[in-house]
């Protein structure tokens, strides 16, 4: 603990009249917002709300919270639900490991404590996905135990109130602030105190424009008295997420699959485990955004699906040049995507044209997605792996034989002749692997229509893309865009 923190701790413990706690409690009890998780002190409700509120704004959480509690009103309901249903209910909130951990924690409570959250900090802190902050919040709000619950909001408020200049990104500083927060808790009012300090951070002592003039603790706020409220807290910036350029295929079905698109399920573990997505691959060169990618991105338009105007690129000549670079880049990337999917999944597609860009930000990585509309060809039977040069030949054939794609893919009756022709070409080329039987898809892949999405969980970016796609198809603007 630094000397400043030590002084703050002593001040917190001996504060005359317990100014901070008394003023904060009075203020909180008179202004507190009517939020759904404050309806009672049920530890399960507190737990769900605290997990949802991590990294997410209150306004965003409210409808999700209400839906979640309707669907899983008890710990047992949540523990016994299929994971897909839990993820579906969480869809759009992001950070999906929170949902998986919450369900795993609920299963622990059912298995080890008969379905009742224990009134014991060590036991609560041992539940899956429950860190020191969430444990403190559950213990104080649900059980009124004098445990601190220190998140970014609380560190900001206390750094300012005590004029602490230590870097709150450091674990040791956080630990020191936890001790200070614990010393400030008024007797018998831990739940309201912790909620009060969070509320103060959310409504008054906000990051960029603290409302000191309406703050209940302004009279003794050292940061405010020193005129330093805008400089505090001190926090070193986290490393920005690493950008990764990925090429996604929006493969449109034809023949019996007309109106459907091809999606795949992510692996059992790791990033976005078991969620559904469009097939996508890393762009050549590992996907890092180099100068070519930057040129293409500039001309392609910004992320989140809106086109950038030519005027924004400068002169018409500059716009034309950038557009030509982007066009060449896209051709190369479409070819790469076709080869990579043939290699990875033995899936032959024919990318047709760029559709839009999108972005998905994780804590450590940022996916810059370029999405291409594509036609479905066929899936190759297992034989020799379709790697390297073979994949190149496959996709070369795919490009040369558009009839197989245009006429409903290899599965359409009109495409059968083209399929046979392509198979013969593959044989002729000395390649093993024939088009797989009708309706055979690579493992984890499936055709879906819009209504199927009700049962499937997608990460935000793919949810947005697919919803936009169905909307554009419905309005006819997708076809117009192509003209
Ligand atoms: S007086 Fe200002 S800086 Fe101090 S706690 Fe209140 S809002 Fe924050």
Instruction: Please write the tens of the pLDDT for every residue from 126-153.
Output: 999 999 999 999 999 999 999 999 999 9
More confident residue, 399 or 302: 399
**Final residue before a domain boundary, out of 199, 225, 251:** 225
CATH of the domain at 193: 1.10.340.30
What ligand 1 atom has the least distance to the C-alpha of 156?
8
Do 414 and 369 belong together in one domain? yes
Give the whole-angstrom CA distance, residue 436 versus residue 439. 8
- Asked if residue 304 has pLDDT above 60, the reply is no
Rounded distance from Cα 363 to ligand 1 centre (Å): 29
Do 253 and 366 belong together in one domain? yes
Give the whole-angstrom CA distance, residue 218 versus residue 227. 12
What ligand 1 atom has the least distance to the C-alpha of 215?
6
Do 269 and 218 belong together in one domain? no
Rounded distance from Cα 144 to ligand 1 centre (Å): 26
Confidence class for position 416, pLDDT limits 50, 70, 90: low
Do 221 and 246 belong together in one domain? no
- Asked if residue 184 has pLDDT above 90, the reply is yes
- Single out the catalytic residue among 10, 15, 50, 199: 50
Q: pLDDT tens across 114-123, in order?
A: 999 999 999 9
Give a yes or no: residue 150 inside a domain.
Answer: yes
Structural domains of the chain, count:
2
Task: Please tell me the predicted confidence (pLDDT) of residue 420.
Answer: 59
- Ligand 1 pocket mutation, candidates 157, 199, 231, criterion most atoms within 8 A of CB: 157
Nearest protein CA to atom 2 of ligand 1, as residue: 212
Do 143 and 257 belong together in one domain? no
Give a yes or no: residue 232 inside a domain.
Answer: no
3-state secondary structure string, the chain? CCHHHHHHHHHHHHCHHHHHHHHHHHHHHHHCCCCHHHCCCCHHHHHHHHHHHCCCCHHHHHHHHHHHHHHCCCHHHHHHCCHHHHHHHHCCCCCCHHHHHHHHHHHHHHHHHCCCCCCCHHHHHCCCCCCHHHHHHHHHHHHCCCCCCCCHHHHHHHHHHCCCCCECCCHHHHHHHHHHHHHHCCCCCHHHHHHHHHHHHHHCCCCCCCCHHHCCCHHHCHHHHCCCCCCCCECCCCCCCEEEEEEEEEEECCHHHCCCEEEEECCCCCCCCCCEECCEEECHHHHCCCHHHHHHHHHHCCCCCCCCCHHHHCCHHHHHHHHHHHHHHHHHHHHHHHHHHHHHHCEEEEEEEEEEEEEEECCCEEEEEEEEEEEEEEEECCCCCCCHHHHHHHHHHHHHCCHHHHCCCCCCHHHHHHHHHHHHHHHHCCCCCCECCCCCCCCCEEEECHHHHHHCCCCHHHHHHHHHHHHHHHHCHHHHHHC
Q: Is 50 a catalytic residue?
A: yes
Do 167 and 87 belong together in one domain? yes
Residue 323: partners with Cβ closer than 8 Å, 6 or more residues away? 299, 310
CATH of the domain at 328: 3.90.79.10
Residues with CB under 6 A from ligand 1: 157, 160-161, 204-205, 210-212, 215, 217-218, 221, 223-224, 229
Give a yes or no: residue 231 inside a domain.
Answer: no
Rounded distance from Cα 156 to ligand 1 centre (Å): 9
Percent of the chain with pLDDT over 90: 61
Give a yes or no: residue 436 inside a domain.
Answer: yes
Do 337 and 280 belong together in one domain? yes
Do 154 and 280 belong together in one domain? no
Cβ distance 249 to 280 under 8 Å? yes
Task: Please tell me the predicted confidence (pLDDT) of residue 477.
Answer: 82
Give a yes or no: residue 230 inside a domain.
Answer: no
- Ligand 1 pocket mutation, candidates 218, 225, 228, 230, criterion most atoms within 8 A of CB: 218
Do 301 and 388 belong together in one domain? yes
Q: pLDDT tens across 418-456, in order?
A: 555 555 555 544 444 555 555 678 889 999 999 999 989
Rounded distance from Cα 158 to ligand 1 centre (Å): 9
Mean pLDDT of the chain: 84
Do 124 and 215 belong together in one domain? yes
Rounded distance from Cα 32 to ligand 1 centre (Å): 18
Do 409 and 296 belong together in one domain? yes
Give a yes or no: residue 262 inside a domain.
Answer: yes
pTM given for the model? 0.75
Instruction: Compute CA distances 406 → 202, 255, 350, 376, 412, whole Å.
Output: 56, 10, 10, 9, 10
Rounded distance from Cα 194 to ligand 1 centre (Å): 16
Q: pLDDT tens across 309-363, in order?
A: 334 445 666 666 666 667 778 889 999 999 899 888 888 888 999 999 999 998 8
Do 30 and 167 belong together in one domain? yes
- Ligand 1 pocket mutation, candidates 224, 227, 230, criterion most atoms within 8 A of CB: 224
Q: pLDDT tens across 82-111, in order?
A: 999 999 999 989 888 999 999 999 999 999
What ligand 1 atom has the least distance to the C-alpha of 218?
1
- Asked if residue 232 has pLDDT above 60, the reply is yes
Instruction: Over range 190-203, report the average pLDDT.
Output: 96
218-222, 264-268, 360-364: range with lowest mean pLDDT:
360-364
**Final residue before a domain boundary, out of 200, 225, 250:** 225
Give the structural domain span for 45: 3-225
8-12, 192-196, 305-309: range with lowest mean pLDDT:
305-309
Give a yes or no: residue 353 inside a domain.
Answer: yes
Residue 136: partners with Cβ closer than 8 Å, 6 or more residues away? 147, 148, 149, 150, 178, 194
CB atoms under 10 Å from CB of 149, counted, come to 28
**Final residue before a domain boundary, out of 172, 194, 225:** 225
Give a yes or no: residue 100 inside a domain.
Answer: yes
């Amino acid at each position: 603990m630094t000397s400043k923190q030590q002084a703050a701790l002593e001040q917190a413990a001996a504060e005359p009249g317990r100014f901070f706690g008394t003023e904060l409690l009075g203020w909180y009890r008179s202004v507190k917002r009517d939020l759904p998780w404050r309806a009672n002190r049920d530890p399960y409700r507190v737990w769900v709300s605290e997990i949802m509120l991590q990294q997410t704004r209150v306004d965003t959480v409210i409808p999700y919270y209400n839906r979640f509690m309707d669907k899983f009103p008890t710990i047992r309901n949540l523990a016994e639900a299929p994971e897909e249903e839990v993820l579906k209910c969480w869809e759009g909130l992001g950070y999906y490991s929170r949902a998986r951990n919450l369900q795993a924690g609920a299963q622990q409570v059912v298995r080890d404590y008969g379905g009742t959250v224990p009134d014991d900090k060590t036991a609560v802190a041992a539940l899956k996905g429950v860190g020191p902050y969430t444990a403190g919040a559950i213990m104080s709000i649900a059980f009124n135990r004098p445990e601190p619950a220190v998140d970014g909001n609380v560190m900001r408020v206390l750094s300012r109130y005590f004029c602490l200049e230590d870097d709150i990104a450091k674990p040791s500083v956080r630990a020191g602030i936890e001790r200070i927060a614990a010393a400030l808790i008024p007797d018998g009012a831990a739940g309201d105190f912790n909620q009060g300090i969070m509320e103060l951070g959310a409504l008054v002592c906000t990051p960029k424009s603290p409302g000191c003039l309406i703050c209940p603790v302004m009279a003794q706020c050292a940061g405010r008295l020193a005129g330093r409220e805008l400089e505090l807290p001190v926090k070193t910036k986290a490393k920005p997420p690493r950008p990764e350029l990925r090429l996604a295929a929006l493969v449109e079905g034809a023949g019996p699959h007309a109106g459907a698109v091809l999606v795949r399920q992510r692996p059992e573990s790791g990033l976005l485990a078991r969620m559904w997505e469009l097939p996508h691959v890393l762009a050549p060169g590992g996907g890092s955004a180099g100068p070519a990618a930057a040129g293409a991105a500039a001309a392609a338009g910004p992320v989140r699906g809106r086109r950038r105007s030519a005027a924004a690129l400068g002169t018409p000549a500059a716009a034309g040049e950038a557009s030509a670079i982007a066009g060449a880049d896209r051709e190369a990337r479409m070819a790469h995507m076709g080869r990579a999917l043939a290699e990875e999944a033995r899936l032959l597609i024919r990318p047709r044209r760029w559709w839009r860009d999108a972005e998905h930000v994780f804590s450590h990585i940022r996916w810059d997605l370029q999405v291409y509309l594509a036609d479905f060809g066929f899936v190759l039977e297992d034989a020799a792996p379709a790697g390297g040069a073979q994949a190149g030949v496959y996709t070369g054939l795919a490009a040369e034989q558009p009839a197989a794609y245009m006429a409903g893919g290899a599965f359409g009756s009109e495409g059968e002749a083209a399929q046979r022709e392509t198979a013969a070409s593959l044989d002729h080329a000395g390649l093993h692997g024939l088009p797989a039987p009708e309706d055979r898809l690579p493992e984890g892949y499936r055709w879906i229509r819009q209504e199927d999405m009700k049962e499937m969980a997608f990460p935000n970016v793919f949810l947005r893309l697919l919803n936009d796609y169905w909307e554009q198809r419905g309005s006819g603007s997708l076809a117009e865009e192509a003209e």
